[in-house]
Amino acid sequence: QMSSLPRAANASRAYAAAAQAVLSVLESELDAIRTAGTWKGERVITSQQGPRISVDGSRGDILNFCANNYLGLSNHPEVVKAGIDALKKYGAGLSSVRFICGTQSIHKNLEEKLARFHEREDCILYASCFDANAGLFEVLLGPDDAVLSDELNHASIIDGIRLCRAKRFRYKHMDLNDLEEKLKESRSSRMRLVVTDGVFSMDGDVAPLQGICDLAEQYGALVFIDECHATGFLGPRGRGTDELLGVMDRVHIVNSTLGKALGGAAGGYTVGPKALIELLRQRSRPYLFSNSLPPPVVGCATRAVELLLASNEIAQSMAAKTMRFRNNMTQAGFTISGTAHPICPVMLGDARLASLMADDMLKLGVYVIGFSYPVVPKGKARIRVQISAAHTDEDIDRAVDAFIQTGRKHGVIS
Ligand code: PLP
């Protein structure tokens, strides 16, 4: 059905024509997306997030392999209880930004715990990591500075960099030689910041942080990482990519999210030197001009961090499950991108094939999602499977069986 714009009864014919022209532009954009096979539908979940969910239109429990719920904390009883307790004690929300009357003791407490978790001096909370990425670069870097950014960095990093006035250098994905070239080219800049995802979410590949830190030290640059797909479960204590690769003391600034492994509600943050965090509180626009994190969200995240600070067990529970999926799928003939990360992209190439296969998987009770352009490059469509610590071995075997069945049906494997 064609949509329409609201129109006052006495609107002129010229206005009506202009309104119709706008709608035609929108409809033709939408048609182009449908024709390209890259339409992103949204399935409706009618239960809590977890390894087994109910999905509108599907019968019975569905195995969920597409959440960033890496540690299974999204509906962990202690995390949920902490959210309820915070709601009761501190209310629904602050109706304020932090610097006016939106800072509660629980916000300070969570910032202190996150700084401790990452072993950095200080922490500032945001409503999301998208906001943390939007707010950082503009504050830190001016026109005399340079930012050197991996070409496949997350959209929020790209947008954040667009907002800052530093000179921009884009180096080839994880290519240390190209990064070195760009460091040489930017030699005259006052300050330089190398910017990379710790883990790239579309491919599940891990940034070569040791090499990046070596080059940064050689050329006098700072290093920033986005740890959204690492915080909580990479490294022996789940501190992230910097811990995994032994460079916690060589990476200067970390942005990450509370919306994935750390309880999965919402929120993001920056950890780093105290002076930087203080300056962000004074100048960072998404912090200054957006509401404080709601108490229940703070409560859930705080409990998640406490669980991880108390024991390494949860962080360590992932690796064997990830390898079970990766090995069994590879043996069956599929190509899985990335290395030992729980993001396991099943590479298919064609956008329509990825979307059809994902639909067929759901019919077999396994919820996965096809990713296509513009989220990934054209011709590199895939189904991105994400393993969670909450999956059982049987869950993983069922997913592999469903892939084999649908893969044969669509001629992806023989
Ligand atoms: N950075 C990366 C690498 C991400 O994958 C995401 C989430 O998709 C974000 C930033 C944004 O995180 P948030 O959901 O907290 O805004």
Residue 229 bears catalytic tag: yes
Annotated active-site residue 256? The verdict is no
Ligand 1 atom nearest to CA at 199: 3
What is the predicted pLDDT for the residue at 3?
A: 74
Ligand 1 centroid, distance to 246 Cα (angstroms): 23
- Select 38-66+312-410's CATH number: 3.40.50.2000, 3.90.1150.10, 1.10.1500.10, 3.30.413.10: 3.90.1150.10
Ligand 1 geometric centre to CA of 257 (Å): 6
Distance 129 CA to ligand 1 centre (A): 5
Q: Which pTM does this prediction carry?
A: 0.94
What's the 226 CA to ligand 1 centre distance in angstroms?
8
Pocket lining: 201 vs ligand 1, CB cutoff 6 Å: yes
Cβ of residue 197 lying under 6 Å from some atom of ligand 1: yes
Ligand 1 lined by 113 (C-beta under 6 Å): no
- pLDDT tens for the chain, 414 residues long, are 567 777 677 778 888 889 899 999 999 999 998 888 778 889 999 999 999 999 999 888 999 999 999 999 999 999 999 999 999 999 999 999 999 999 999 999 999 999 999 999 999 999 999 999 999 999 999 999 999 999 999 999 999 999 999 999 999 999 999 999 999 999 999 999 999 999 999 999 999 999 999 999 999 999 999 999 999 999 999 999 999 999 999 999 999 999 999 999 999 999 999 999 999 999 999 999 999 999 999 999 999 999 999 999 888 888 889 999 999 999 999 999 988 899 999 999 998 899 899 999 999 999 999 998 888 888 999 999 999 999 999 999 999 999 999 999 999 999
Instruction: List all residues 6 or more positions away from 78 whose beta carbon is below 8 Å from its beta carbon.
Output: 303, 307
- As a whole number of Å, the CA-based R_g of the chain is 23
257 lines ligand 1 (CB under 6 A): yes
CATH fold of 77-310, please?
Aspartate Aminotransferase; domain 2 (3.40.640)
Q: Is 154 in the pocket of ligand 1 (CB under 6 A)?
A: yes
Closest-lying ligand 1 atom to the alpha carbon of residue 153: 3
Which long-range contacts does 378-383 make (Cβ < 8 Å, 24+ apart)?
Answer: 379/349, 379/350, 380/347, 380/349, 381/348, 381/349, 381/350, 381/351, 381/353, 381/354, 381/355, 382/202, 382/337, 382/345, 382/346, 382/347, 382/348, 382/354, 383/345, 383/346, 383/348, 383/354, 383/357, 383/358
Our answer on whether the CB atom of 301 is closer than 6 Å to any ligand 1 atom is no
Hey, where are the domains in the chain?
38-66+312-410, 77-310
